[in-house]
Amino acid sequence: MVEKTLPFDISLNLFKEVFENVPDIAVNVLNRDFTVLWANSVMAAKVDTPLAEMIGKPCYKVWRRRDTPCPVCMLRIVCDTKRPCVMERWLDLPNRERRYAQVRAYPVFDEKGSVKHVFEILIPMDREKKSELGHRRYVESLEEALRKMNASVPSGDTQREPSDPGASLTPRETEVLRLVAQGFSNREIADILLISQDTVKTHLRNVFSKTGATDRTQAAVWAVTNNITYP
């Protein structure tokens, strides 16, 4: 009797061969059902978690100590858009301070062109770096918003129709959506933009209304699809 081979075996062997012993690159592979299929030893070291406690477990339980998937889920975004996604995420590890990392997620397709797995690279960030990065992106988003506002001013009698898919969003709504798509919470967005959490919620309600999204994940998918995740 021939033993049935899992469709992922070839990909898994390739990932193991390429990334198992590469120094300083923390990687893992997730199944569509959120299960951690594989991770290398560097990933285990970066998150202070033995491989045996990661493999076969839901990613949201391993790294976020949640019982359900994250409100803004990178795996869902990558599966829905079939495109890579980059976000800053926090890791909630047992007996450890909350840690921050940039996560780069890439789709792995099956023979029919559907996303079957998601390959992730984790780049740790300290709090100072995260704060610096958040504020730098905020400044960049302001500059980008100013450029768009200037570009929208009609020249003479010529009235230009907006071609940007996010043109109906105000500059502030675009900033909030961009930060939501990067994985920031309402509290973190309020801190970065120097506004109240209630104001963040108001902007987010407007974003939902204008984009047709019903939750943060759908809004993030819309942002990624329309290339407004980053300035």
**Residue 144 pLDDT:** 56
- Fold agreement between 9-125 and 128-151+163-225: no
In order of 98, 171, 173, 179, the CA distances from 205 in angstroms are: 28, 15, 9, 14
Q: Give the pair of three-digit tokens for residue 18.
A: 């390429």
Angle at 217 between CA 94 and CA 86, to 5 degrees: 70
Distance CA 139, CA 135 (A): 6
Residue 161 scores a pLDDT above 80? no
Contact (CB, 8 A) for 195 and 55: no
Residue 98 scores a pLDDT above 90? no
Beta strand 85-91 with 115-125 is unpaired
128-151+163-225: CATH class: mainly alpha
Q: Which residue has the tokens 């770096």?
A: 129
Which residues fall within 8 angstroms of residue 116, CB to CB, at 6 or more apart? 7, 8, 31, 32, 108, 109, 110
- The mean-pLDDT minimum among 29-33, 68-72, 150-154 falls in 150-154
Mean pLDDT of the chain: 77
> Among residues 47, 48, 189, which one has the least CA distance to residue 120?
47
Tell me which DSSP letter residue 160 carries.
P
Residue 160 scores a pLDDT above 90? no
pLDDT in tens, 111-139: 888 898 999 988 887 655 555 555 555 54
For the chain, give the number of residues: 231
**Residue 2 pLDDT:** 36
Among the four given CATH numbers 3.40.640.10, 3.40.1010.10, 3.30.450.20, 3.40.50.920, the one describing domain 9-125: 3.30.450.20
* Phi and psi at residue 185, to the nearest 5°: -80, 170
Global pTM? 0.59
Contact (CB, 8 A) for 72 and 54: no
**Residue 12 pLDDT:** 65
The domain spans of the chain are 9-125, 128-151+163-225
- Work out the average pLDDT over 167-190: 85
pLDDT band at 206 (very low <50, low <70, confident <90, very high): very high
